[in-house]
Structure 1
Amino acid sequence: MILAARGLALIAYLVLIGLILVWTTWIDPPEIVPISVALVILVLPLLFPLRGMLHGRRYTHAWSSLLALAYITLGITLAAAADARIYGVLMTAASLAWFAGCLLYVKLDARRARQVTS
């Protein structure tokens, strides 16, 4: 179960990064700002937890779940706009899966650590 939670968190995290990259560069590039600026604003914060997510560190999963909340909010905001509804729904779904996977992994890994020490 703990591997499934970690897998869910990691896959959803990578899907979110991929979704933002593909959508921002190919599907619907921004018209107001350059693509590079949009990518820096949207993808750069996602790169901070990359190492800890790949290595399965509980602390990284815990604080990155808070980062997922920002992307959930952004996804809901985009889903409310008529021209970016699909992008917003996909971003919200990936962010929610990342959030849920992180929380579940933290809970299960902490339980496993308590059982090992006692």
Structure 2
Amino acid sequence: MANPKPFHWGAVFSLLALIMLNLAWELWLAPLRPGGSWLVLKSVLLLLPLMGVLKERVYTYQWSSMFILAFFAEGVMRAWGDGGLSQQLAMMEVGLTVLFFGSVVLYVRAKRLQLSS
């Protein structure tokens, strides 16, 4: 039987890292416009699943697995279309979204196995 805790912490780590990455990216590291851009507001969207993930709510894990795909798509498009530091940050975003998605799916699976036994 798989323990869901490592997957929970993987989801928490990747979500928090994604929030910090997006804040730094759009405010200081490589904003679309000098001085920051309104794209920093996408970090606020990442706060939506945070409390549910921290409290290990299975329903939040389920819907956030679909929610995170928008950030994956943005990362892929910016990794493909941008250059320099912005491209590297986009690849980091892709990696963190894949880690989050994998952790969420494996957490829900482990939790269901735990509850059924």
1:33, 1:26 → 2: CA distance?
A: 7
One-letter code aligned to 1:80: W
CA deviation after TM superposition for structure 1 residue 4, in Å: 0.6
1:18, 1:46 → 2: CA distance?
A: 10
One-letter code aligned to 1:21: L
Larger deviation, residues 20-29 vs 88-97: 20-29
Q: Which residue of 2 aligns with 1:60?
A: 60
Q: Which runs of 5+ in 2 are unaligned?
A: none
Residues 55-96 of structure 1 deviation map (CA, whole Å, 9 limit, x = unaligned): 111110111011111111111101102423101100000000
**TM-score with structure 1 length normalisation?**
0.88
CA deviation after TM superposition for structure 1 residue 44, in Å: 2.2
**Distance change >3 Å, CA 29–CA 82, structure 1 → 2:** closer
1:22, 1:82 → 2: CA distance?
A: 17
Q: Which residue of 1 aligns with 2:108?
A: 106
Greater helix proportion:
1
Q: Secondary structure at the match of 2:87?
A: helix
1:71, 1:63 → 2: CA distance?
A: 14
Q: Secondary structure at the match of 1:95?
A: helix
Q: Which runs of 5+ in 1 are unaligned?
A: none
**TM-score with structure 2 length normalisation?**
0.89
Q: Which residue of 2 aligns with 1:4?
A: 6
CA deviation after TM superposition for structure 1 residue 50, in Å: 1.3
**Count of residues in Structure 1 that have an aligned counterpart in Structure 2:** 113
Q: How does 1:3-82 map to 2 (within 5 A)?
A: 3-31=5-33, 35=37, 37-40=38-41, 42-82=42-82
